[in-house]
Amino acid sequence: MRQQIGDEPDPAVGDEVVAVVAPHASILPGWFPPIGRNRLPSVDDMKISILGTGNMAAAVAQAWIGAGHTVTIAGRSADKAAELAGRLGAYAAAPSDAAAGADAVVVAVSWDGVPDMIELAGGSRGALRGVPVLDCTNPVDFGTGAHRLATGSAAETIAAQATGASVVKALHLYAGQMWLTSQERPRVVAMCGDDEAALDVVGRLVTDLGGTPVAVGGLDHARQLEEAAGFVVSLYGKGVDPSTAIPSVG
């Protein structure tokens, strides 16, 4: 039995609650709010569950907590989830409980671990049905930039495995740490998905990081967005700033 998000934190509630820390209890030193953040006034603070305990999970969790959202960290390692949650002022939960009550679930694990994590989260059993699922994974070879799937995309693979989930591809192109720094120019986050409501939710989350969300189409655009990450990686590997390799149009 997992303690529901929004309950008063109670560390004794059950063994699946690996850490319960009052939201906003502590923000990492050096944190400052994203500049240019444009919160929509009608938006309530959201409950975001993050699958993953690594660098990306930590960065976006910190940024969303700073924006006033309630974040739950869920990892295959309960100890790592508890440590990260305690450090940031988030809740922690088992992956199997991550979707319960969440307004959005973020998949932030290495591509190799995605099928395992979706299974742990109950995706094939319908636990993510109707939930906006933000896929920020990069199924690319970081040496060459090549896409690791012969066809299709990570986002479509997740959608196929997570029965009924509303998958949105987003946030994979920017380093997570960038959302914790000031910005001199707009950071456009190209995203795609088939569910307008889920795109709206993810768009609000992007906005709250300080990004500018732009939906470019349905989930069948995901491979293009993932290939863009490979393009970035391959140029970066040549010592080139990828943004200098794109013509300014219009």
Binding site for ligand NAP (CB under 6 A): 52-57, 75-77, 80, 108-113, 116-117, 136-138, 172, 175-176
Tokens 């943004």 belong to 243
Cβ 55 to ligand NAP shortest distance, Å: 4
Q: Enumerate residues 6+ apart whose C-beta is below 8 A from 250.
A: none
DSSP-derived letter for residue 182 is: -
Nearer to ligand NAP, 43 or 235 (CB): 235
What is d(CA 16, CA 1) in angstroms, rounded to the nearest whole number?
7
65 close to 90: Cβ distance less than 8 angstroms = yes
Q: Enumerate residues 6+ apart whose C-beta is below 8 A from 107.
A: 51, 52, 114, 117, 118, 133, 134, 135, 136, 137, 158
Nearer to ligand NAP, 90 or 108 (CB): 108
Nearer to ligand NAP, 4 or 181 (CB): 181
The distance between the two most distant Cα atoms of the chain, rounded to a whole number of Å, is: 59
**Residue closest to ligand NAP when measured from CB atoms:** 54
Phi, psi of 65 (to 5 degrees): -65, -40
Say which amino acid occupies 83.
E
Nearer to ligand NAP, 33 or 113 (CB): 113
DSSP-derived letter for residue 79 is: H
Nearer to ligand NAP, 60 or 198 (CB): 60
Cβ 21 to ligand NAP shortest distance, Å: 18
Nearer to ligand NAP, 45 or 96 (CB): 96
Cβ 111 to ligand NAP shortest distance, Å: 5
Cβ 114 to ligand NAP shortest distance, Å: 7
* Nearest alpha-carbon partner for 167 in 190, 124, 133: 133
Cβ 113 to ligand NAP shortest distance, Å: 2
Cβ 9 to ligand NAP shortest distance, Å: 23
